[in-house]
Structure 1
């Protein structure tokens, strides 16, 4: 493949930044477009702010911009990144005005992470399918019921509207945009140069926090939870758990749904899944993890991983297990796996 081709016109990519912008949200996609330029003369990346002034990013670094959004002309693609700040803080009238102008002067509109909050406030997401970072998805769906939120997607396309999950998922989406514009070979070359996956399997559940739902409120439910956690591989049934607590099956089920938002059987499944995942992190084989967590067989564990995370336990272990050369230890994850 030639290093630079002059046959294709450069596409202008405008990225709206603002005080508190998540740096990786815009740097990641920008680097993808720049790397693609090593294969094709494909992109001109322009950073913009509402007033043309420099902005301070999430890590405190100040970033210079190419100008004000209202004076920047037309773009092929406009990217609206997100922020760790609450939407009530970073979605200012000035940011909304800039995003409104840019959205009217582009062929393709992209949001990264909580950048969806900006577009949702403008009404641009009504009746559209979008995704966002898993931790913002419930609030987005609740505040904007007209928006169809897909909380587990890495990225989503709905017509000329594109959205991605948080931070590094912007790289995934940018690679997809490059492939759409210039083909798989160019996108693959950019991915190779950045040393990232061309396409990641699975959804956001494989990256999200493990802790889900409230803790037990009553001593009775705590007693049953402690029993499950102490020996997850035991063949627990709702009958044996109810007998241990000396209550009826119906009463125990009602308490679990009230306090933990799940049935006893669902809770046992969550605990077992979390134990199996921790064992994979520790370097156990898939078979060892399946037996140790009470799945009965590696095939049963494989089905559980596919159902919950969209990825096999072996691939999960390959991608998320700490390497032998790592100097830092990952924080231990709580036992309950994320609900997909």
Structure 2
């Protein structure tokens, strides 16, 4: 079997996790695939060491300027150095050259900024770290920027969101190249779920940031997320908070941009998704724990949130 040659492009202040999630996953595929499936290299400007955003130094294996195709996959890392890399004509020029000689091109996190500078993303739907998406969209209006998904595939180009989405991206590549069994074996080795789907949201309400500054809303949110299996109707929430239903709705719209009922439904769906991939609980137990009165109510909320029914979600993300 011919090895697939993969070049990871790094530069000063690149994110170490962006690089390691991809390279380590592919090396694990070599170990478990029964053959050397991938030939993986880190290419840097002039082949010199780069100081990553974390302060650690990585030695480049190849000089970016000397890499020649054909390549199977070209991946551009992100990191706080992405702005400088995107205006470095040497880096941009050689990424553009190598992309044309690659079967598949990808970027991780803010690496999309660097890839966008080549012009190869024009007219494509792309993603990047949600925090940097507005700037990318403003600077490159010819791109269709969607900050929601973990990664987006548009033809032969794949762009991934923030940092650890590189792991999901690498697992997706392994599955695409060598089948789901090997991808699952690598996921088990990495002690992670098989992979999150590309269209899963980058930001979960449980991880998207600090709670609102309003003390009352914070208390209500804490109550919701800690008591998903209880009565969380608008009337019950307002009564518990000691305010009118109308006032509570107004506060939710002001601080969260959505009414209480929608927030509760999303919280329950995300909690159910976690249970689907981290436990073997039957569907009825998942529905009960997350406050859905019936399995059908769970199914409807799940389809609204993730676009697929919970049974299919679990099947796609748990090992055989």
Structures share fold, TM-score greater than 0.5: yes
CA distance in 1, matches of 2:256, 2:304: 21
Match status 1:295 vs 2:295:
no
Cα-to-partner distance string for 1:132-165 (whole Å, 9 max, x where unaligned)? 3455445544543432234443433222212233
**Unpaired segments of 5 or more residues in structure 1?**
320-340
CA distance in 1, matches of 2:57, 2:162: 21
Question: What secondary structure does 1:82 align onto?
Answer: coil
CA 1:292–1:28: 2 relative to 1, 3 Å? closer
TM-score, normalisation: structure 1: 0.66
Which residue is 2:99 aligned to?
Answer: 103
Match status 1:69 vs 2:64:
yes
Question: What secondary structure does 2:158 align onto?
Answer: strand
Which residue is 1:335 aligned to?
Answer: none
TM superposition shift of 1:118? 0.8
CA 1:138–1:208: 2 relative to 1, 3 Å? farther
TM superposition shift of 1:128? 0.7
Q: Choose from 58, 76, 87 the match for 1:80.
A: 76
Matched residues, number:
304
- Give the alignment of 1:157-236 within 5 angstroms: 157-178=153-174, 180-181=176-177, 183-184=178-179, 188-189=181-182, 191-192=184-185, 195=189, 200=195, 202=197, 203-205=199-201, 208=204, 210=206, 215=212, 217=214, 233-234=230-231, 236=233
CA 1:236–1:176: 2 relative to 1, 3 Å? closer
Q: Choose from 239, 243, 246 the match for 1:245.
A: 243
CA distance in 1, matches of 2:226, 2:39: 57
CA distance in 2, matches of 1:122, 1:191: 34
TM-score, normalisation: structure 2: 0.70
CA distance in 1, matches of 2:4, 2:279: 46
CA distance in 2, matches of 1:291, 1:91: 50
Question: What secondary structure does 1:51 align onto?
Answer: helix
TM-align CA RMSD: 4.5
Cα-to-partner distance string for 1:151-208 (whole Å, 9 max, x where unaligned)? 4434332222122334443344334445555x42xx6346525625795354443874
CA distance in 2, matches of 1:80, 1:114: 9
Question: What secondary structure does 1:123 align onto?
Answer: coil
CA 1:277–1:102: 2 relative to 1, 3 Å? closer
Larger Rg: 1
- Residue 83 of structure 2 contacts residue 114 of structure 2 at CA under 8 Å; is this kept in 1? no
Which residue is 1:129 aligned to?
Answer: 125
Q: Choose from 253, 260, 267 the match for 2:256.
A: 260
CA distance in 2, matches of 1:192, 1:154: 21
Question: What secondary structure does 2:254 align onto?
Answer: helix
TM superposition shift of 1:109? 1.6
TM superposition shift of 1:17? 1.0
CA distance in 2, matches of 1:272, 1:21: 36
- Residue 134 of structure 1 contacts residue 208 of structure 1 at CA under 8 Å; is this kept in 2? no
Q: Choose from 301, 306, 310 the match for 1:312.
A: 310
CA 1:259–1:179: 2 relative to 1, 3 Å? closer
